[in-house]
Amino acid sequence: MTSNCYIIDTSSLVKLNRENPIDVYPSVWKKLEGLIASERLVAPREVLNEITKIDDQLTKWAKKHREMFIEPTQNQIELVQQILKSHPSLIDVDRQFDADPSGL
């Protein structure tokens, strides 16, 4: 039996923290920590960069779990470059963040 793996973005973590604050619902966050420990929950490194722009409980939690924030592979970078060649309007070149700016 294979286990599911999950990729989470900035807006999901921010919303989770707003609706289920770490200090009020620690069991929710412990479950996430279990997924992180088993390498089943990851996020792009840029998510950590965005989250740390705000100094709150989520920032402290994210810094404590840096191992979940991963760099893109060379293959992923090349695939994105190919996609953007064909569809350059998918990104805003004047953006401040690269992961999920709607989360802040």
Domain ranges of the chain: 6-103
pTM of the model: 0.78
| CA–CA dist 27, 75 (Å, integer) | 36
Q: Give the Å distances, CA to CA, from 103 to 1, 8, 9, 60, 94.
A: 34, 12, 8, 17, 17
Q: What is the pLDDT of residues 47-95, one digit of tens each?
A: 999 999 988 999 999 999 999 999 999 999 999 899 999 998 888 777 6
